[in-house]
């Protein structure tokens, strides 16, 4: 019994030594490159000073730095995550929830769906009154305001949400209350893609929202989304609707971002899940129609895909995007803009024909501070 115990200890010691040697060799001798972990920022040491030393911040930052740069760390993290995912049906990323049939959800979208971030009827009423003031002011300038609600995956695929997540459902949500109260303000143009997507859910040929992504699919944002928005813009501006019908579909071997943005954050051994989604193909002619409309979109990450792809990116005389209201694109246009000059911002804001406010459900609690900002810009 004693010899067996000693043999086992020696084997374990040998394994530990091999692991430590391999970890050291990866960093110091062979410099084997590992694939970076998605959604993980590199840890850097604090600057050494009397304050950081005596407060313990420097020591903690060195500890985090050494941990981050440990040999084969990324591979070991992926191994741990893969075991959780494949054997225990768990998402190791604390911001994600793995649902039935391996559907992935962002936790903040689940919280918005179940009403955990509900701000109440009175606060929503105040925000809508502010939006109405802004809409009236823009109308006097000949500018059309369009309020767009992108879809919440949790609202679109509630059937795959784990039961324990629905225990927090309180019967109220910011989205539902906004929709209800906006009915009293018909002058505010609203496009509700939550409702629209649910109406199409059982009839569409291709996925509207990917199984392992949080946003609408690339296919959707190049077909259904621009078609809906452009039709409304043309009607508001009395313009003829251009023809930008896809000429075909492509089925690449791998998905394009953001169709797998949640799966990527799992940091598994395989970067993609194997899901396949078609992508529209357009015949881009040099003399394609450009609508004489200057469009400004103030929104969150849901607009990025629309902004970057045909037909939207090529369709207007001006196509500007203010990400969360303060990161302005195209950058070359706004590089000289002073963020402290309300007069300059007001001029740029009003130098458009259409203003689109695209707000995901997770941002309805503060509307990305757009009402407060716009009231300052418009001097209301």
Residue tagged 């051994």 (tokens):
269
pTM of the prediction? 0.86
DSSP per-residue codes, 253-322: SSPPTTTTHHHHTT--SSSS------EEE----TT---EEEEEEEEE-GGGHHHHHSTTGGGSEEEEEEE
| Six token digits for residue 196 | 């629209």
Dig out the tokens for 100 from the structure: 């039935």
Q: How many CB atoms lie within 10 A of CB 66?
A: 11
Query: What are the pLDDT tens digits along the chain (380 aa)?
Result: 566 666 666 676 666 655 555 554 445 545 556 677 776 666 676 676 676 666 666 566 655 655 655 656 777 788 888 999 989 899 999 999 999 999 999 999 999 999 999 999 999 999 999 999 999 999 999 999 999 999 999 999 999 999 888 877 778 999 999 999 999 999 999 999 999 999 999 999 999 999 999 999 999 999 999 999 999 999 999 999 888 888 899 988 888 888 999 999 998 988 777 788 899 998 765 556 789 999 999 999 999 989 988 889 888 999 999 999 999 999 999 988 888 888 999 999 999 999 999 999 999 999 999 999 999 999 87
Domain ranges of the chain: 98-378
Q: Using an 8 Å Cβ cutoff, are 156 and 208 in contact?
A: yes
**How far is 141 from 296, CA to CA, in rounded Å?**
15
Q: How many of the other CB atoms lie within 10 Å of CB of 178?
A: 22
């Amino acid at each position: 019994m004693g010899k067996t115990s000693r043999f086992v200890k020696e084997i374990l010691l040998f394994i530990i030594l091999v692991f430590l040697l391999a970890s050291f060799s990866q960093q110091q001798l062979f410099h084997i490159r590992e694939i970076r972990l998605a959604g993980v920022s590199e840890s850097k040491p604090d600057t050494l000073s009397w304050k950081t030393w005596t407060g313990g911040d420097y020591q903690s930052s060195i500890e985090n730095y050494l941990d981050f740069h440990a040999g084969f760390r990324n591979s070991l993290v992926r191994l741990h995550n893969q075991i959780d995912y494949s054997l225990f049906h768990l998402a190791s990323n604390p911001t994600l929830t793995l649902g039935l049939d391996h559907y992935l959800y962002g936790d903040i979208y689940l919280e918005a769906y179940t009403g955990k971030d509900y701000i109440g009827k009175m606060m929503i009423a105040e925000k809508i009154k502010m939006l109405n003031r802004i809409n009236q002011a823009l109308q006097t300038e000949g500018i059309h305001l369009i309020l767009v609600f992108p879809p919440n995956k949790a609202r679109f695929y509630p059937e795959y949400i784990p039961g324990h997540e629905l225990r927090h459902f309180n019967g109220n949500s910011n989205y539902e209350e906004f929709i209800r109260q906006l009915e009293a303000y018909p002058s505010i143009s609203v496009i509700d893609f939550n409702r629209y997507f649910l109406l199409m859910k059982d009839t569409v040929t291709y996925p509207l929202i990917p199984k392992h992504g949080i946003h609408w699919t690339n296919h959707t944002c190049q077909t259904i989304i621009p078609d809906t928005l452009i039709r409304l813009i043309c009607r508001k501006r009395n313009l003829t609707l251009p023809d930008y019908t896809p000429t075909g579909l492509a089925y690449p071997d791998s998905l394009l971002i953001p169709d797998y943005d949640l799966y990527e954050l799992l940091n598994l051994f395989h970067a993609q899940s194997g899901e396949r989604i078609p992508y529209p193909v357009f015949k881009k002619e040099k003399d394609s129609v450009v609508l004489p409309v200057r469009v400004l979109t103030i929104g969150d990450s849901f607009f990025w895909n629309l902004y970057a792809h045909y037909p939207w990116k090529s369709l207007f005389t001006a196509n500007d995007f203010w990400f969360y209201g303060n990161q302005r694109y195209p950058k070359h246009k706004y590089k000289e803009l002073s963020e402290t000059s309300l007069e300059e911002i007001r001029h740029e804001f009003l130098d458009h024909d259409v203003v689109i406010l695209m707000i995901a459900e997770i941002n309805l609690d503060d509307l990305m501070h757009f009402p407060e900002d716009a009231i300052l810009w418009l001097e209301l």
